């Protein structure tokens, strides 16, 4: 008799991960019914809720969910993973563009990918604002008495949400999946209630209604297509979170729960408007019976908080990836859970997001106004994702004809949505683009400055062979203990050691050069973490390898050195780190001076080695110098 236990356990694991994916992956797209459908008939640019227009908008939403989310992301893009990890930076890393010369195809693709990542920072501020605001606006459906409370309540919820980020989501994260499962089931149930009022709404499944709407309304039809796009914002999240859950759970959660419930709810909203046009202002809340209205407001508020949390966590993760790949300044990153690698908190990013999100609520005031700022950044990001996915598919030997046809088809859809969202630029669409350019400028400035610093460090360092010959000819005094010098890769003496010898011509009995390499893979197994090379008597070089999704912790990593034959006591070792001060050159053109000044500012405010690598503060000696860039 054969046992079905492994298969049963596998199914249980997949079900558990699928439930968790509902909370984290589909939180954003799952709250879109609060505002996506109604915006076509209530925004600054809208169409009248005639039966033909209702069916046309509904048909476009339905097929956007099928073509963009189900086919493009769930079937095509999800195939491109970097050792199980997804997201636009992981997609860029698959092309290995870091060694590409400027102007080459790989270099251009890297720039595109990094700009796409920058676009998601703008989205990270808009999603919490529009989601929570649209939920709280449900208070005004029954009465106007609560109109003056919408903004204060929304701001209060957002302030509490950001204030508690430092605690992490590990304790309450287990509730995300069950709560969002309830949310999706409620979406489906109230959607069925609406459909029963007007079953004929199901003919919107015919794509001809959407096509007829587009061509029958001219420019306005294209503008409304930008509103339809609100129904699929959040699709990027399912790709970015692939490393946390895997392909199968993400696909199961979508096709078994999320997609059916979303379709039922959108059909229900269309039906209730066709049945009673007075509900066009708030079709979502019109689906529920009167007694369930305020409980639905409460549930939708909780759902939008979960969706916001997922987006905020995603921005934290995106920032860490960019830092690990050397594309952004080092920031203080706190691990909020010892077991879950994705549970991190970045204080600076958190407070910047909070100020930006609250500022958006105060500036735009309503979800209808805020919707104008939503969509342009995400649609641009989807275009970039399609382009990168094509080149990744070619690199992994996909059939060129199949890859080309699929990419071209997806680009037609992506470009149509991008063109539609461009009409929103002056109404608020400029905001995420400005944010993206600011973030991208920081990335570009950091790459420029770090390149200059590396060049100067390389020029000032002494080759190891020359160094060993020099100390052999004139041996310095040796003192007891172990000295650890952090150094970039290469056969050179750390600049900090040379400075140290200038101040005090003595060396420790054991000298360890330590290099931390961040590979272009998400994670490096512990068994492959350390490499140790004995350079000379009493001199060693340790190289620690990390993935861009991992946080280097040198004290923990150093314990691995014992298994490789080098026992280093953390209670006795002294860590020597450089503390460089960056100065901008005055005798340079204006643009160069501005860029150098900006890099100097970023350098001063970036995390130092003691923070990045969790070095014990009482065992660290900093040696400073000034560098002019």
Taking only the tens place, the pLDDT of each residue in 529-538 is 888 888 888 8
Per-residue pLDDT band at 567 (split at 50, 70, 90): confident
pLDDT in tens, 131-182: 899 889 888 876 678 788 899 999 999 999 898 887 776 556 667 889 999 9
271 with 308, same domain: the answer is yes
Q: Answer yes or no: is pLDDT of 289 > 60.
A: yes
399 with 547, same domain: the answer is no
pLDDT value at residue 12: 61
Rounded mean pLDDT of 328-345? 71
Rounded mean pLDDT of 59-76? 93
421 with 471, same domain: the answer is no
Q: Which two tokens stand for residue 572?
A: 């006795």
Three-class DSSP category at 545: strand
419 with 525, same domain: the answer is no
pLDDT value at residue 9: 47
Higher pLDDT, 428 or 85: 428
- Helices in 137-201 by DSSP H: which ranges? 150-163, 173-197
CA distance 308 to 589: 44
- Of residues 192, 228, 255, the one with CA closest to residue 21: 255
Please name the residues in contact with 2: beta carbons below 8 A apart, sequence gap of 6 or more.
none
| Cβ-contact 337, 168 below 8 angstroms | yes
Q: Which two tokens stand for residue 71?
A: 């086919």
CA distance 294 to 300: 10
Question: What average pLDDT does the chain have?
Answer: 84
CA distance 96 to 229: 32
405 with 525, same domain: the answer is no
- Please identify which residue in the block is written with the tokens 């649209």: 134
> What are the two backbone dihedrals, phi and then psi, of residue 18, each rounded to the nearest 5 degrees?
-65, -40
pLDDT value at residue 5: 35
435 with 474, same domain: the answer is no
* pTM for the model: 0.79
pLDDT value at residue 318: 82
pLDDT value at residue 62: 96
534 with 568, same domain: the answer is yes
Q: Is residue 390 part of a domain?
A: yes
Which range has highest mean pLDDT (6-10, 343-347, 514-518)? 514-518
Q: Is residue 454 part of a domain?
A: no
- Please identify which residue in the block is written with the tokens 């920058």: 118
On the 0-12 / 13-18 / 19+ scale of CB atoms within 10 A, 425 is middle
Per-residue pLDDT band at 99 (split at 50, 70, 90): low
184 with 282, same domain: the answer is yes
- Percent of the chain scored above 90 by pLDDT? 26
Q: Answer yes or no: is pLDDT of 10 > 60.
A: no
Total count of domains within the chain:
2
Higher pLDDT, 74 or 591: 74
Q: Is residue 456 part of a domain?
A: no
Q: 454 vs 110, 358, 549, CA distance in Å?
A: 20, 39, 23
Specify the length of the chain in residues. 629
Q: Which two tokens stand for residue 287?
A: 């689906």
Per-residue pLDDT band at 1 (split at 50, 70, 90): very low
Here the contacts of 320-323 (C-beta below 8 Å, separation 24 or greater) are 320/344, 320/346, 320/548, 320/549, 320/551, 321/87, 321/89, 321/90, 321/117, 321/548, 321/549, 322/89, 322/114, 322/117, 322/443
Q: Which two tokens stand for residue 324?
A: 């690990």
Q: Is residue 183 part of a domain?
A: yes
Q: Is residue 328 part of a domain?
A: no
CA distance 138 to 294: 8
pLDDT in tens, 217-263: 888 988 899 889 999 988 877 787 776 677 888 899 999 999 999 99
Of the listed ranges 104-118, 230-244, 359-373, 421-435, the one predicted with least confidence: 230-244
CA distance 113 to 425: 22
Torsion of CA 76, 82, 88, 94, to 10 degrees: -100
Q: Is residue 337 part of a domain?
A: no
440 with 487, same domain: the answer is no
Q: Is residue 37 part of a domain?
A: yes
- Of residues 26, 342, 314, the one with CA closest to residue 176: 26
Of the listed ranges 1-5, 69-73, 413-417, 478-482, the one predicted with least confidence: 1-5
pLDDT value at residue 188: 96
Range of the domain at 546: 461-628
Q: Answer yes or no: is pLDDT of 394 > 80.
A: yes
152 with 282, same domain: the answer is yes
595 with 558, same domain: the answer is yes
From the CA atom positions of the chain, what is the Rg in Å? 28
Q: Is residue 61 part of a domain?
A: yes
């Amino acid at each position: 008799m054969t046992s079905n236990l492994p298969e049963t356990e596998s199914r249980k694991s997949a079900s558990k991960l699928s439930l968790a994916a509902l909370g984290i992956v589909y939180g954003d797209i799952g709250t879109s019914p609060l505002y996506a459908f109604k915006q076509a008939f209530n925004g600054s640019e809208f169409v009248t809720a005639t039966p033909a227009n209702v069916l046309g908008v509904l048909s476009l939403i339905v097929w956007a969910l099928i073509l963009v989310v189900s086919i493009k992301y769930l079937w095509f893009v999800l195939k491109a993973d970097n050792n199980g990890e997804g997201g636009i930076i992981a997609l860029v890393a698959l092309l290995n563009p870091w060694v590409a010369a400027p102007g080459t195809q790989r270099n251009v693709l890297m720039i595109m990918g990094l700009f796409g990542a920058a676009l998601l920072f703008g989205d990270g501020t808009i999603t919490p604002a529009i989601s929570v605001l649209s939920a709280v606006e449900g208070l005004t459906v029954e009465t106007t008495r609560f109109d003056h409370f919408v903004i204060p309540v929304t701001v209060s919820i957002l302030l509490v949400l950001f204030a508690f980020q430092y605690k992490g989501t590990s304790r309450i994260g287990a509730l995300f999946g069950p709560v969002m499962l309830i949310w999706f089931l409620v979406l489906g149930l109230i959607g069925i209630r609406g459909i029963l009022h007007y079953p004929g709404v199901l003919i919107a499944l015919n794509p001809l209604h959407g096509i007829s709407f587009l061509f029958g309304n001219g420019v306005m039809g294209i503008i409304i297509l930008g509103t339809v796009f609100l129904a699929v914002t959040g699709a990027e999240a399912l790709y970015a979170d692939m490393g946390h859950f895997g392909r199968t759970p993400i696909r199961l959660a979508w096709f078994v729960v999320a997609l059916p419930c979303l379709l039922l709810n959108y059909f229900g909203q269309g039906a209730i408007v066709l049945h009673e046009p007075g509900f066009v202002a708030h079709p979502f809340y019109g689906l529920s019976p009167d007694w369930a209205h305020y409980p639905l407001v409460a549930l939708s508020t909780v759902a939008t908080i979960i969706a916001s949390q997922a987006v905020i966590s995603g921005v934290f993760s995106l920032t860490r990836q960019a830092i690990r790949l050397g594309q952004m300044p080092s920031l203080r990153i706190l691990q909020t859970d010892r077991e879950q690698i994705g549970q991190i908190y970045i204080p600076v990013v958190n407070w910047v997001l909070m100020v930006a999100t609250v500022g958006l609520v105060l500036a735009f005031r309503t979800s209808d106004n805020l919707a104008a700022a939503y969509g342009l950044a995400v649609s641009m990001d989807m275009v970039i994702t399609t382009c990168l996915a094509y080149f990744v598919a070619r690199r992994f030997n996909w059939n060129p004809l199949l890859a080309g046809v699929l990419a071209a088809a997806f680009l037609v859809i992506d470009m149509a949505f991008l063109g539609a969202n461009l009409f929103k630029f002056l109404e608020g669409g400029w905001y995420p683009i400005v944010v993206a350019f600011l973030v991208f400028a920081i990335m570009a400035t950091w790459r420029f400055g770090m390149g200059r610093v590396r060049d100067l460090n390389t020029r000032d360092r002494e080759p190891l062979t020359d160094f060993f010959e020099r100390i052999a000819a004139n041996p310095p005094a040796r003192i007891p203990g172990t000295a650890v010098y952090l150094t970039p890769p290469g056969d050179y003496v750390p600049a900090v050691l040379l400075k140290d010898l200038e101040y005090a011509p003595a060396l420790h009995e054991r000298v360890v050069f330590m290099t931390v390499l961040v590979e272009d893979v998400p994670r490096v197994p512990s068994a492959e973490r350390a490499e140790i090379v004995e350079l000379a008597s009493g001199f060693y070089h340790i190289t620690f390898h990390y993935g861009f999704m991992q946080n280097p912790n040198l004290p923990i990593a150093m314990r691995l050195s014992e298994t490789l034959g080098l026992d280093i006591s953390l209670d006795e070792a002294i860590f020597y780190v450089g503390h460089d001060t960056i100065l901008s050159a005055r005798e340079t053109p204006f643009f160069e001076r501005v860029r150098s000044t900006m890099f100097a500012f970023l350098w001063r405010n970036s995390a130092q080695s003691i923070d990045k690598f969790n070095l014990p503060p009482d065992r660290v000696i900093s040696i400073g110098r000034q560098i002019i860039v």
